[in-house]
Amino acid sequence: MSNAQLVLRQARFENKAFWRNPAAAFFTFAFPLLFLVIFSTLLGGGTSPSPTGEEIESTTYFIPAILSFAVVTACFTNIAIGISFSRDEGILKRLRGTPCPGWVYLAGRVLHAVFVNLILVVIVLIFGQVFYGVDIPLDTVAAFVLTLVLGAGAFCALGLAATCAVPNAEAAPAVVNVMVLPLLFLSGTFIPIGDAPQWIQTFAGLFPIKHFLDAMFESFLPPPDNPSGFVWSSIIVIALWGMAGLIIAVRFFRWAPSK
Amino acid sequence: MAIRAIEVKGLRKTYRKVEAVRGIDLHVEVGEVFALLGPNGAGKTTTVEILEGYRKRDAGEVQVLGTDPETNERSFKERIGIVLQETSVDPFFTVREVIELYGGFYPNPLPVDEAIEIVGLTDKADERIRRLSGGQQRRLDVALGLAGNPELLFLDEPTTGFDPSARRNAWQMVKDLQSLGKTILLTTHYMDEAQMLAGRVAVIARGEIVAEGPPDALGGRDVAGTKISFVLPPGSPSPPPQVAGNFQILGNSWRSETDAALPILHELTGWAVNNNVELRSLQVSQPTLEDVYLALTGGERDGASESQTVADLAGGKSETGRSR
C-alpha cells in the first residue's frame, strides 16, 4: 500500500471508531450549535459591531463566529487532546514499532479531524440558514473555502504542536483549554470585541484565532470595499502560524508517554 | 554462513548520569527462544528498546536481522514484531479490525483469521476491544505483534498479570510460535516462564549480563554443589568426624554444600541407621533457577546469608564448610 493509501485508510478507521462512540460524536456536533443558540439568545434582538466596524444583527454575527469556534474545537482542541491521550495510552508507541511512518498516522488523524470539521461547518451553515435566516455566501465561496481549509490545516498543525506542551493525558484538557479559551474570548468569538479597548484587539491580533475570525467574517459578510471576501493579511498570518505549528510538531513531537 | 537474529557487542547507554546499560554482549540464533531475565531497573527494557529501534545507544555494535535498528528503516520494521507492555489500541475497534489495520502496514501480513486463531481469540474476533478482559487484551497485543508475520518477535513480559491457566495457555502459544520458526526474544521476571520456554537465558543486573546459558545450567547450577541439610534431635550422639567435618552446625541444624554428596550421604545415613538416629528434615537439593537468579541479581529471599551462599556457588566456588 502506498503512503497516500495508508493515510486514507487510517482516516477511514478513525472515522469508524469515531461513530462508535455516539455520545462523543453527538456532543462534538451539538456543542457549537448549543453555543450558537446561547449567545444568539443572550445578545439577540440587538446589533453587534462586526470586525469591519459595521453594526450587524447579533444573530448574523454569531454564524461566522461560531463557525470559527467549531473549526478551532474540531481541529486544534480535538487533535491536541486526542493525540495526548493516544500518546499516554501507548497507541503512538505501538505504532512506532510498525513499518507505518509516523507522519502517515498523524496525517490520517488530521484528515479525519478535518472531515469532522467539514460536517460541523455544514451543520452550522444549515442551522443558521433555517433558524436565523443567514444566507450561505455564494459570491464569496472561494474566499470562504480557502479560509476554512487553510484554517483547519493550521489549527490541526497547532494542535499537534500543542501536544508537545502537554505533559500527560490528565493535564491535556486543562493545558489545551488554557491555550485556547482566553483567546477565543479575546478574539470576539463569543462576545463582539468591536467596542473593547484597543490593546485587547492588538493583543488578540498576535494570535491566529482573531485573524481566522476576521477572515471568516469577511468571506461570509463581505464589506462593500472587499467584494471578493479575501482578507489576505489575515490569511498570511494564519498560514504563518500553521507553519510554525508544523515546525514545532516535527521538531518536538513525542511518541512515547512521559514517565 | 548463517546470520544471527541478534548480535550485540559492548552495548552502552547512559541517561544523564545513570549508566543504564554497561557493556552488554549477547546473541540470539535464528529460531531460538531467548529470555532476558532481570529485576526492574536492571537495564532490560533499555536493552530491548535499543534492539527494537526505539532508543539510540551510546556505544557498542548492534545488529538485528543483519541491520542496525537505530537506522529505523521501514524494511527492518517489516521483519519484526513488537509486543510491549502498556500499549493499547482504540477501544472502539473490534479484534478483527485492529489486526487488519495493523497487518496492512506490512508487505506480507499474516491472514487475519490465522493471527486471531494463534492467540485463541477466534470466538472474540468481532468483539469490541473495550469489552475484552485484561488477559484477552494481552493476547490481542501478541496477535498485533504477529500481524505482519515477523521473523523476529519481541515479547515484553507476556504473562504479567495472568492467572495460572492463562499463563499455561500463553506458554503453549509461545511454543507454537517457535515451532512456526519464529525467533523470539522474551523478557520476563518469572523463573518458571524462562525455564519453560527459553532455550537460553541471560540474567541482567545493574546494566550487565551476569550469567548466560541454558536455564538448566544457568550460573553453573548444573555443576554447583549439592546442598544437604538436616536437623539433629537434641540428645542424639554426634556423627563421626569424617561426616561432621563436612557440615556447618548452627544449633541443631546441620548444613553442607558439597561436590561429593553421594559418599557423604552414604556415610551419614549409614551412621544414622546404625545408631538409630533420626535425621529430621533431611534434604538434598540443587540450587533452583530462582536461587541463582536472586543471587545474581542481589535479591534477597531467605536473608542475605542465603543469597551470599548461592552467589558464591554461582561463581563456581563450591567448597564445603564456609562460614555463614
Q: Are residues B82 and B106 in the same domain?
A: yes
Residue B306 contacts A where some CB pair is shorter than 8 Å: no
Tell if the CB–CB gap between A93 and B54 is shorter than 8 Å.
yes
Strands (E), chain B: 6-15, 18-28, 33-37, 59-64, 80-83, 152-156, 183-188, 200-205, 208-213, 226-231, 248-250, 253-258, 280-285
CATH number of the domain encompassing residue B34: 3.40.50.300
pLDDT value at position B299?
Answer: 60
Report d(CA A93, CA B289) in Å as an integer.
33
For B244, how many CA atoms within 13 A lie in the half-sphere containing its CB?
Answer: 9
Quote the domain boundaries for residue B248. 220-314
Q: Are residues B41 and B55 in the same domain?
A: yes
Q: How close is the nearest chain B Cα to the Cα of A128, in Å?
A: 33
Q: How close is the nearest chain A Cα to the Cα of B86, in Å?
A: 6
Tell if the CB–CB gap between B104 and A9 is shorter than 8 Å.
yes
pLDDT value at position B158?
Answer: 84
Which residues in chain A (18-37) have CB-CB distances under 8 A to chain B?
20-21
When pLDDT is averaged across residues B84-108 and rounded to a whole number, the result is: 92
| Displacement of CA A195 from its chain's centroid (Å) | 25
Q: Are residues B142 and B178 in the same domain?
A: yes
Our CA angle for A117, A77, A44, nearest 5°, is 70
- Chain A residues inside the 8 Å CB shell of B74: 99, 101
Q: Are residues B232 and B97 in the same domain?
A: no
Strand partners, B256: B228
For B158, how many CA atoms within 13 A lie in the half-sphere containing its CB?
Answer: 31
Residue B99 lies in a domain: yes
pLDDT band at B311 (very low <50, low <70, confident <90, very high): very low
CB-CB contact of B154 with B80 (8 Å): yes
Q: How close is the nearest chain B Cα to the Cα of A20, in Å?
A: 6
ipTM of the complex: 0.88
B12: pLDDT strictly greater than 70: yes
Chain B residue at shortest CA distance from A2: B105
When pLDDT is averaged across residues A115-136 and rounded to a whole number, the result is: 91
Q: Are residues B198 and B253 in the same domain?
A: no
Give how many domains chain B has, as a whole number: 2
Tell if the CB–CB gap between B53 and A21 is shorter than 8 Å.
no
When pLDDT is averaged across residues A11-24 and rounded to a whole number, the result is: 93
CB-CB contact of A6 with B104 (8 Å): yes
Q: Are residues B210 and B266 in the same domain?
A: no
Tell if the CB–CB gap between A16 and B97 is shorter than 8 Å.
yes
Q: Are residues B245 and B302 in the same domain?
A: yes
Chain A residue at shortest CA distance from B84: A94
pLDDT value at position B60?
Answer: 94
Chain A residue at shortest CA distance from B78: A99
- Chain A residues inside the 8 Å CB shell of B87: 89-91, 93-94
B320: pLDDT strictly greater than 70: no
pLDDT value at position B170?
Answer: 84
B323: pLDDT strictly greater than 60: no
A43: pLDDT strictly greater than 90: no
Q: Are residues B268 and B249 in the same domain?
A: yes
pLDDT value at position A106?
Answer: 96
Residue B37 lies in a domain: yes
Task: Assign B20 to helix, strand or coil.
Answer: strand
Which residues in chain A (94-153) have CB-CB distances under 8 A to chain B?
94, 96-101
When pLDDT is averaged across residues A158-177 and rounded to a whole number, the result is: 95
Q: Are residues B46 and B154 in the same domain?
A: yes
User: In this structure, what C-alpha cell is assigned to residue B208?
Assistant: 550487565
A50: pLDDT strictly greater than 90: no
Between the alpha carbon of residue B284 and those of residues A178, B67, B225, B228, B245, the distances in Å are 69, 48, 10, 5, 18
When pLDDT is averaged across residues A114-137 and rounded to a whole number, the result is: 91
B312: pLDDT strictly greater than 50: no
Helix, strand, coil percentages for chain B (3-state, nearest 5):
35, 25, 40
Tell if the CB–CB gap between A98 and B77 is shorter than 8 Å.
yes
| Displacement of CA B241 from its chain's centroid (Å) | 42
pLDDT digits (tens, 9 = 90+) for B179-234: 988 999 999 888 888 889 999 999 998 899 988 999 887 777 777 778 888 998 88
Residue A13 contacts B where some CB pair is shorter than 8 Å: yes
When pLDDT is averaged across residues B148-165 and rounded to a whole number, the result is: 87
A255: pLDDT strictly greater than 90: yes
pLDDT digits (tens, 9 = 90+) for B231-247: 988 888 888 888 888 88
pLDDT value at position B104?
Answer: 95
Residue B274 lies in a domain: yes
When pLDDT is averaged across residues A68-76 and rounded to a whole number, the result is: 94
Q: How close is the nearest chain A Cα to the Cα of B189, in Å?
A: 21
Of the candidates A206, A176, A231, A172, which has an alpha carbon nearest to the alpha carbon of residue A50? Answer: A231
pLDDT digits (tens, 9 = 90+) for A179-222: 999 999 999 898 888 778 889 989 999 999 999 999 999 998 88
pLDDT value at position B94?
Answer: 95
When pLDDT is averaged across residues A56-67 and rounded to a whole number, the result is: 88
pLDDT band at B309 (very low <50, low <70, confident <90, very high): very low
pLDDT value at position B2?
Answer: 61
- Count CB-CB contacts under 10 A for residue A29: 16
A62: pLDDT strictly greater than 70: yes
How far is the first Cα of chain A from the last one, in angstroms, to the nearest whole number?
35
pLDDT digits (tens, 9 = 90+) for B260-272: 888 889 989 999 9
A44: pLDDT strictly greater than 60: yes
Strand partners, B82: B154
Q: Between A and B, how many CB-CB pairs are < 8 A?
A: 64
Residue B234 lies in a domain: yes
Tell if the CB–CB gap between A94 and B82 is shorter than 8 Å.
yes
Residue B86 lies in a domain: yes
